[in-house]
Structure 1
Amino acid sequence: MQLFLALCFLLGIPSGAPDIHSLKYFFTAASNVPNFPEFVNVGLVDEVEISHYDSNTRRKVPKQDWMNKVTEEDPEYWERYTERNLGRQQTFKANIEILKQHLNQTGGVHIYQWMVGCEWDDETDEVVNAFDQDGYDGEDFISFDLKTETWITPVPQAVPTKHKWNSNKAEMDYRKHYLTTECVDWLKKYVEFGRSSLMRKDLPSVSLLQKTPSSPLTCHATGFYPDRADLFWKKDEEELHEDVVKGEILPNHDGSFQMSVDLDLSGLKDEDWGRYSCVFHLAGGQEVSKRLDKRDIRTNWKTNDGGLPTGAVVGIAVVAALVLAGVGLIIWFKNRPQGSRGTSKSDTSSSSGEEAMQSMLKTSS
């Protein structure tokens, strides 16, 4: 499982399966990264950002109006977690320096991140996944395997840490308790706070875009929610897999999503155009279908007289604006991991789902 840089961490990425909910916390420390905070803490419910702290603002704040409900039970919630994150940013900064020493590194850009969280099925009331994982400079470093209740690592540099943490049975018992109980309890509470928002379903607008007559044709769907969706080309009633390139689901600035799928038109006969259609399918069964019609294609190529074809728009500018409609930078875990992080007993009184956290390397070096 690889980590990768996602240049547009947008404000919401809902989890889409109708009854599966997730709670995740990302802690990111950056060294020598221009125009990016040294430390960022982001909380997500169903991939929607619910809380944010960074070392520039030095404040932990809600990112959804419904998250303010936590102060009804705990009026000092945001102030308390602001103070805790002020301490954490120093811990994470120290983690990078310790890692650089362990790996014989000097200067340069370095990123250290921890992700912890859980997934819960609100129909069966079962924990369907949990993860607790550390990464460094875009690669996995160490993780907690909930099935075996042991720490595992893909890199030799983390083997001493793995052995030390595996010998701490009390810590591993707490780790299991947090991932399967405390995390889920907070997830249930947050889902109840934001149910009307998190459970909504929005269908997208679907457009056909093309740079030039020889370029692949892009079917672009934007404005859908949640992100458990599919977009594909079909001929007659059969889904196409050849001459098709599918893009990733990307978040929009308003919390909705967009995605696209390209179709190579080079071998397409004019008389067959009406047999092709682009289909958007949202989890739960709702669909939007757009039949292939030359009159509906939006493009930015110019005709010989310097004008635009009839009905044309600057499609590429539209797509660029949508893709760049995000904010920030975050190290994202491409696949669902099994997690990692060692914690000190002094910091395991979880009161928001993110408490089980202490310096990975300070406790292992």
Structure 2
Amino acid sequence: MKISSALFLLIYLQKVKTDLQYDSCSYWTSSKGYGLPEFTERRVLNDVTVYYHDSTMRSKIPRPDWINTTAGREEWSIILDWSDYNKDFFTVGLQSATQQFNLTGSLSEQNIYQGSGCCSLSPNGTYRAFLNSAFNGKDFLSLDIYSGTFVAAVPQAALFKTLKERDSDINELAVLYRTRCLDRLKILKQAPGVLIRKVPEVRIVEKQKAGSITVTCHVTGFYPRVVQVVWLGPDLQSVDEGVTDVLPNEDGTYQTRKSVIVPVEDVGEHTYSCVVLHSSVPDNITRVWGGEKAGGMAVWISLVCICLLAAGIGLVVWWCCRTRDAVI
């Protein structure tokens, strides 16, 4: 039983480790009435912006010096060419969605059409990609990159879906996200700042409640953003259904936490491990909590306090006696 559990643990941790990946993402926005540029495009690799352009700029940004290979220069040219196509695509998308939702008058004066596309490469070679768009914050249309067809999330997207599937560039766009995005990912990995790694600081905090103890694994100061935090141990109950939010710190690093509930009767009987996996460390960071150290420390603190209190009382009694003798 113990052997099978250990084997399962090793397989599970390996699976979690493969989730740490490089992401190359693009974000597009076409808007009206929000005081924003009519169109923006941003390309990001692991939180590092490597390309940005919007409709208020007179020209597109020049190719940076760190892209100095032939393949890199070709890829940069493709990015610039597709930027014009993306602007037309999202401008038409905004117009079509506004019309299909029958937004007229004041309702047509403030609307936003957003798109995001990412390709991800895991350490084990697994490759994934997607391309989605939304209108006023709700899913609108997505591109199936394997079939080259669009999927309408709402009936109002059907017209735009039909219109764009007649576009001869759509198949090329699908191929781009199946193959070229991966090539771009390999090239852009050399971008300044992308290879920066900051090791997480991990500490365990406990809070006792009636009948149980909530144990929190606090992880902070890490970069890049992608991280996995896993609690291992018997009879654990996740807090907030195990959802882990990753939040930014003021210095550009990130923080997160994950909590579990340990029954009081299990404290001291089992050990519980918080395992943190991050690209800044080759293996993992593990912090073990068993309750013994916390309980032992509390006992020692109590004993020290009692001794200090006794010494204080003794000192007061001695001083009072000495003062009385002096007066007599």
Q: Which amino acid aligns with 1:224?
A: F
Higher relative contact order (CA 8 A, sep 6+): 1
Partner Cα separation in structure 1 for residue 267 and residue 277 of structure 2: 27
Partner of 2:138: 139
List 4+ stretches of structure 1 deviating above 6 A.
56-62, 71-75, 77-91, 212-215
Q: How many residues are paired up?
A: 269
Partner Cα separation in structure 1 for residue 172 and residue 77 of structure 2: 26
Instruction: Report if the CA contact (8 A) 1:26-1:41 is conserved.
Output: yes
Q: 1:221 deviation in Å?
A: 0.8
Please give the per-residue CA displacement for 1:260-293, whole angstroms capped at 9, x wherever unaligned. 123457x536x82685656132155312315353
Partner of 1:21: 22
Q: Which amino acid aligns with 2:111?
A: H
Match of 1:202 among 199, 204, 208: 199
Return closer, same or farther for 1:294/1:69 CA change in 2, 3 Å cut-off.
Answer: farther
Match of 1:185 among 183, 186, 194: 183
Partner Cα separation in structure 2 for residue 49 and residue 31 of structure 1: 24
Moved more, 196-205 or 181-190: 196-205
Instruction: Report if the CA contact (8 A) 2:145-2:178 is conserved.
Output: no
Structure with bigger gyration radius: 2
Partner Cα separation in structure 2 for residue 149 and residue 87 of structure 1: 17
Q: 1:152 deviation in Å?
A: 1.6
Gaps of 5+ in 2: 1-16, 298-328
1:258 aligns with 2:255: yes
Partner of 2:234: 238
Return closer, same or farther for 1:60/1:70 CA change in 2, 3 Å cut-off.
Answer: same
1:220 aligns with 2:209: no
Return closer, same or farther for 1:238/1:285 CA change in 2, 3 Å cut-off.
Answer: farther
Q: Which amino acid aligns with 2:66?
A: K
Return closer, same or farther for 1:166/1:254 CA change in 2, 3 Å cut-off.
Answer: same
Instruction: Report if the CA contact (8 A) 2:129-2:177 is conserved.
Output: yes
Q: Which amino acid aligns with 1:148?
A: S
Match of 2:94 among 92, 96, 117: 96
Partner of 1:363: none
- The two structures, once aligned, show a CA RMSD in angstroms of 4.7
Output the TM-score relative to the length of structure 1: 0.56
Return closer, same or farther for 1:163/1:294 CA change in 2, 3 Å cut-off.
Answer: farther
Partner Cα separation in structure 2 for residue 161 and residue 264 of structure 1: 49
Identity %: 21
Partner of 1:320: none
Moved more, 273-282 or 182-191: 273-282
Match of 2:169 among 168, 171, 174: 171
Which one has the bigger helix percentage?
2
Q: Which amino acid aligns with 1:96?
A: L
Output the TM-score relative to the length of structure 2: 0.61
Partner Cα separation in structure 2 for residue 81 and residue 143 of structure 1: 20
